[in-house]
Homo-oligomer: A and B are copies of this chain.
């Protein structure tokens, strides 16, 4: 078997901290791992399976959790975004536009490309905040509407680079003033922090099971207002109960069972969000004492943080092996999550990482800096 080298490392990879399985999800993988096991008693559609209790999860628990009218499970957040864009594109002439915030994940852009939509991005503010402002969002819509039809706006909440949380409610209001629906990409929110589509008054919401809901991927969730269900979940003209955009069924495997298995834990953990934010802020403060500056929203409101380390960059320019020294040092200390080769700018996440482990991470950064600065000076 291929061993996972980093399995017992301290994990500060933003992509991974929210996707570590619960004990229940791990047991579930053993029970439901076989291909199509969940289809034992299927009557024709994934979300309607009663045994195991997928129906109850998709039609009761999930809409309540997302604050939406109608929900489905998808193969991931990006697949959810494409489902929405591809459906809305049906109603338009050619060359319609999607507005994306300037911090959008690449997959939002690619989903729009796949749906043959044009993309306009809302500019973010410059270093060091990289913020998406409501006014700029409004101006971008205004300008784009002059060029053509805008069928959807998307907001990344928070984004995956800086962990910034823009004013989603105000942006939703702006979008609706222009009669444009808003899709929230909450891949880093749903399952980590409290977020409800209806409170923000968005029209669509997507989340990621493997990124933030302690599930084995690929799996995602999609929520929407009732008004859009008929279009987005339109049925096949020949196979009357099959939803076209979902190709009949999406996460037809153990992935959905791990999502369900972790769900009670996930519902509980979002309530501890304040403590996670407090811990993130504490970590950022300690990093800044090492002259590693946290960028983006400040004080920060999310566990995903972006740092600027001029000192580590200086070291990388002088040491043997160059920019990979930081990765090697962290690996030697069994810390995983900062991409190999990065030193000057990098992101990390403190989500669900015990404070003791974070202290060890901070201590390690301190030691690395001391060791190499000494080396450079001597």
Contacts and interface: CB of A to CB of B under 8 A. Distances in A.
Contacts of A31: 1-4, 7
Interface residues of A, number: 80
12 contacts: A1-B27, A2-B31, A2-B257, A16-B36, A16-B37, A21-B34, A35-B209, A36-B211, A106-B242, A216-B253, A217-B252, A219-B253
Interface stretch (A71-79, A139-147, A168-176, A317-325): A71-79
Given A109-B238, A261-B2, A76 B16 contact: no
A194 interface: no
Contacts of A90: 116
Interface string A230-269: 0000001111001011011011111101101100000000
A265 to B, nearest CB: 13
Given A2-B52, A242-B110, A253-B218, A247 B28 contact: no
A130 to B, nearest CB: 18
Contact of A35 (B20, B29, B39, B51): B20
Interface string A2-36: 11111100000101101111001111111111111
Contact of A76 (B242, B252, B258, B340): B252
A53 interface: yes
Contact of A239 (B6, B106, B237, B340): B106
Given A106-B242, A111-B247, A255 B255 contact: yes
A90 B5 CA distance: 42
A127 interface: no
A239 B52 contact: no
Given A15-B39, A76-B252, A255-B253, A236 B109 contact: yes
Given A236-B113, A244-B113, A248-B110, A24 B1 contact: yes
Given A53-B2, A250-B218, A35 B16 contact: yes
Interface string A87-124: 00010000000000000001101110110100000000
